[in-house]
Every structure is written in structure tokens, then in C-alpha cells.
Chains A and B, each alone.
Chain A
Amino acid sequence: MENTIPNAMRQPPWLKVGTYSFLLFWIVVAAFPLFWVVVMSFKLPVDAFASNPLEVLFGPNTQSEGEALSLIDLAVGGFFLVVAYQLPVRLAQPGLALFAPGGQRFMGGIFLGLAYLVILYVGFGFLLPGITAALEVVLGWIPLVGLLAKPLVGITLEHYYAVWIDNTFYEQFKNSIIVTVGVVTISLTVGTLAAYALSRTTSAIAFWLLIAALVFRALPHSVLVTGYMPVFIQSREFFQMLWDTPILGVVLSAFSETPPTLYGQPLAVIAVLVAINQPFTIWMLRSFFMTVPKDLDEAARIDGCSHFQAFRQVIMPVMWPGVITTGLFSFLLAYNDYLVTSLLLDNQSQTMVPAITQYFNRETTATDQIEAIAAAASITAPLFLLVMVFQKQIVSGLTAGAVKG
């Protein structure tokens, strides 16, 4: 039968059933632990740690404390979520084309992202409660259908309130943004330069550099941190020597009278993370550059461009998919890092991930634990958005470049 229709993509029913049940299984496995974390973060401790999973899900105690969602809320909320997901997936590309004609894709992207956040805020903050309230009032009058408007799932925002407002988690959020943005931009700038050069030479030095980078990539980070600790703590004494030198010292003193302490400086941590991230960035970007034909920069050189001009004006414009994909991996590294940030940043400049382990370490009443879970869910939210927006780029980026090299 198959031979009559030479289509490799045609599937017999058993395969279809198998495929879909496997996918369903995988989706459940992939999403369930996170789903459960989110569910728990909205319940009072008594419910969250209840032994009956249905109690955790519906939260009877949380419900009796006041707030609860009805089926209508859930349905409308679900609809909003689908729209919120579809919006960037469908409109990101055309939107980008509309707002950022020509080379300003980066700025356009930022603008779109901000616009999306505003839409989310308005949608979930005002539209959603308004619509559901109206629907509940209307439908509540009709018998039977009115059951839909009955509160069903207990939900409380108090843990989020405690985390973000009482414990000023926004400070850590701000620190995370500083560190992450710093790492991504610097790492990409420095990395593209190096990767471009490495992709355009075959010299022995280039080869050994790549090998060294490979070994560096494999290093356990605790090894590096062993080396950093003393220098970071006593940086002031180290730098004092520079400040004491005759000419340089005068220049440096113009910036600050005493040498800085590196410990607790976001800039220092950014530098460390960029360095740790460099090997991977270089390898990945290099394989993207390999797919850009050399004729392109040779043509530009003949037109009288310098190497740097060729790089900037001819190569970079076709490199965006690669840069975005690599940037995403850098983002993940910086945002998720625990070991380096927890050891080298102090309380004031701490990012979210080490801050959350502090929640877990805190002498824990059950309420503290749920607050920790709420903080964990909060940390995950931006990652969620990120994947939503860039999902297409990840796949197309990988298809286009890195994975061939």
C-alpha cells in the first residue's frame, strides 16, 4: 500500500496513536512538576501540604478564607492565556517587520516586548476581572448555569504579596535584570568579535584557542570559584598597589579615592559570568559564522571596507538568528546561575536565584516554605515569557546554523 503513495510522511494509524500518546505522556511529565509548584504557591499552607491531592488542587481552606475562582473564571482565564500565548507567536514576526523596517530589529524587538507587557498588564489586571465579574453576575441569575459561577478553586495571592511587597523581591528582580542584561550584551559583543576572527583563520593559534575554550567549557565551576574567593574579598588590598603607583595612581584616584571592593559588585560578577560563558558563545557563534560564505566579506573588502567595517556592515546583518539563539543561551546561564552569584554578591546586590535559596534556608514555618515556592514561581515567569517570544527563533536559529558545524 505504501508503495503506491510514495510519501515518507504518511503514517499508519498505529503510529499516529503511538505518536500522540507518547507526546501526551511527555507533555505531562515535562509540565507537571512545574504546574504543581504553581498550584501550591496559590494555596494556604494547610491546603498546599494536604495529603489529598484534590485538596491541594481545590484548596477548601483557602476557599473558606475568602478568595476563590469559579468555572467561569477558569474558562475566561484560560481563553486569555491562549490569546496571550498566540499573540507573540502569531504577531511577533509581522510586528517586527512593521515597527522595525530595515536594520533596527533590535530596538523594534525591545519596543514590541514592552508593548506586549503593557497588553498583558491591561488584559490580566483590568479586562479579565471585569469580564468575569460581569459574566458571573449575569449567569448567576440563571438556575443550573449559575453553578458555573459558584466558587470552586481556592486561591490566595498573599504569598506573592509577601514575597514581592513585604520582602521587596523587586530589588532582587532589578539586580537580576542588571546582571542578565550585562552578561548578554557584553558576552555577545565580545563573543561575536572573537568568533568571527576564529571562523576566518585556520592558523594554529586559532585552533589551540578553540581547544582551550573547549576545555574551559568543561571545567566545573567550583574550581574557578576556589580561585576567585580570596581575590574578591581582598580586592581592596590588591588594587591598593595600583593606586599607589606614581602616574596610574593619580589617574585612578580621579575616579575614586579608595580602590573598590569587588565583592558585591554586579560589574565584577558580570565579568566573571561573561568569561565563564565565553567558550560556549565562541563555539556556537563560530559555527554560525562558518555558514556565512567567505566570499561575502571578501567582496566587501574589495569594495574598500576594513575588516571591522565588513564585519559590522556586511556580516552582522545576516547573523541575527545566530546572535539571538546564542543570546538566549547566555541569558539562561546568567539568569539561572547560582554558584557564582551566591558566592560573590552580597545582600544588596543579590540576584533572584541565590535569594530564593535564602528563602529555603530560612527557618521555616510552613508559610515560609510556600513563600519560597511563590518566589520560585515568580522566577520562572520571565523564562516562560522568553521562551514564548523566542521559541521560533530558537528552532529556526539552530536549524540555520549552529547545529551544522
Chain B
Amino acid sequence: MSEPPAAPLTTADGVPLKVSLRRTVRRSKIKALLLVAPLLAFLFIAFLMPLFEMLWRSVDNPEVSTHLSRTVSALEGWNGESLPDEATFAALAEDLREGQQERNLGLLSSRLNYEKSGMRSTISRTARRVGTLEPPYRESLIEVNNTWGELDTWKLIQREASPYTISYYLAAVDLQLSPDGEIVQVPEHMQIHATLFWRTLWMSAVITGLTLLLGFPVAFLLASLPARHSNLLMILVLLPFWTSLLVRTTTWIAILQSQGVLNDVMVALGVIADEARWQMIHNKMGTIIAMTHILLPFMILPLYSVMKTIPPSYMRAARSLGGKPFLSFRRVYFPLTIPGIAAGGILVFILSIGYYITPALVGGQSGRFITNYIAYHMQTSLNWGLAAAIASILLFVVIICYLVFNRLIGVDKVKLG
């Protein structure tokens, strides 16, 4: 050890020690990797691939470039000042004729309709008659539908010829591209998503705050009661996990609805008049109450795991040094629980902004979250690009929350029990 060895160290059979060590380490790494391989494969197929699929869909824009390929190439170099030339109209007619024959104009017309309402009927009407049209196509197409005589229509086709688009993202935050390619707000009566994003965020913040308010004393009790009692309390905290989410949510409907348990009791006690029953469900209040209840354990558990590590002697020390009970709590105990508050807060907040079933069931019109619109665009309006864009924005918000949290507190502080 005192003097550097003359030759590099080798193992008994002459292999250099470094090589041998590296080989051993690699072997154990491969073994470890093999153990988690099934899970990794599962995560890849069930989580990563859909995630990338979603991100891809939110910018993917194949409709115009595939179904109007002739028109798109004819439009290259068009200056946008006046209507395109006869060749472009002929290309459009050819594209539509082919599309009509192969019956695949539906996607195209929906896609263009997102950007310019009325395009769906324009295309279907034109396609139906395109077989009988005679040159010159410019005149005959405009005659069939004068939308083709508008400069904006052609600008739109030219713009959407690109295989990628940001228009889904713009739509997700109530913006759109004007015919001249500027980003403008959509008309006020069509604005919906931005409001929903804000509502989702502030209601999630309120829910997080409420779970903290309700969960903090419970976690404190859990951490300070003797084991026998705290175990019982812990079971009560975990009990909701053993009940279906749907059951818990519908129970709140039974309790809170206007003919529900709470209102009946209040009427029976004479607190409120029969005709003035409280409207506590199918609005924001319903969502907040039910979600606070459902997410409460996610606040209590991280708080508890942090509080459990705070020895009671800290509070005793603070008291013996002259701190009044509340002051000792505020100056000594509370600051030590902050990692738990942050961990519980981030957990509840992230879960909350992505929550779907509960707001859908008890939220009514006013208590709905942005997730409900993702579902709407997935299932009803079938605008998957927009659904993907909204979901991607949510994902982005969650990642930002996570990064901020990791920076301030550290993710390793999150423990459940």
C-alpha cells in the first residue's frame, strides 16, 4: 500500500484485476436487469408507447398532405394574393374524384372543418358532384360551392399541407390561426378550454389545501398516539382504499343530493326550509367535497411518514427553553413537517388535476375538470388530436410541478407510511 505496485494487479489466472472487476459488475447488472425486464417490457408497451403515441397525435397532421396531394403540390409557390390558377383547381377536382371513389374524404373534411367551419359540407357536396364536372374547373368548382372562390380556403389548404401542426395545441388553449397565419383568440362564445384549465388548477389547489387542513391533525395523531391506537386509526385512514372509487363517489351523491341524507336531516331539524334545500352536488362544491375525501389518504400518509421521524423530545426541548405551546409548534415542529406537507401536497395536486371519474359523476356542468373534456374529445367529438394536445398540456403541468418540487424538497422525501 505504501509504494505503487510495479505491474498492474492481476487475478490468480492472470487477468488484469480491473477487467475482471468490470466483468463481475457487468454480470450482476445484467442479472438485475433481467429481473426487472418483464416490468420494463410492460411499462414500455402499456405506458411509454401510448404516451408517445399521444404526443405524436397532438402534432400529427397527415390529412391534407395525403388526400389532397395533387392540390398541395400545385399550390407550391402560390402567392396567396389572388385565386390559384386553373391547374390547381383541376388538381383539386382530381384529388376529390379519387377520394370520392375510395371513400376516404371523411378524415380530410373533419380536419379542415376544425379550422374553418362549413368545410365538411363543402367537401362532401363538391365530392358528390365532382364526377360530372367539366373544365374549366375553376368556374365549375366555384359554381358548385363558392367556398372555393374564397382566398381563405386556399390559404388553409396551403397551411395545413404541412405534416405537423400546432393548431391542436392552440385549440386546447382557445387560440386559433387566422387565415393570415396569426395566432388569435377564438370567438368568445367558443372559448371553453382555458376556463377549464384554470378551473382544474384552482379547484385542485383548493382540494389540496383542504386535504392538508383535514389531514394534518390526523397525521399528527397517528404519529403521536401509542401504537395500539394509532394502528386502529391507520386502518380507518386506509379503509377507503378497500372500497371502490365508484362506490365512494356515489355515496356522496346519496348524501349530498337535494333529496339526500344531509338535506333531509337539515329539513327535519328545521335548519332549512323544504323548498330551500342546499344544492351541494353536481356543482363545484360536490367535486371539491368528494375529491377531498377521496384524496385525503394521499395527504395523510406522506405527512405521517415525516411526522413519525420527528422525536417528541424536540417539542419538549422547545417547551423547556421557554416556548409557549403554540410558538414551539410553529417554530420547531411545523418547519420539520414541511417535507411531508410538500410531498402530500404535490401528490394530491397531481392526482387531482388528472382526476376524471369523480368530477364526471358529481361535478355537473360547473364542477367539471379538463379531463372530462379530454374524454369528450376522445369519445364524442372524435377529435383525438385535440384530446392529445390537452392531455399533453396536463402532462406538461405535472412535469413542471414535479421539477419544482424536486428542486425545492427532493422527490426522495415522498414516502407512504
Q: Do A and B bind each other?
A: no
Question: What is B's interface to A at a CB cutoff of 8 Å?
Answer: none
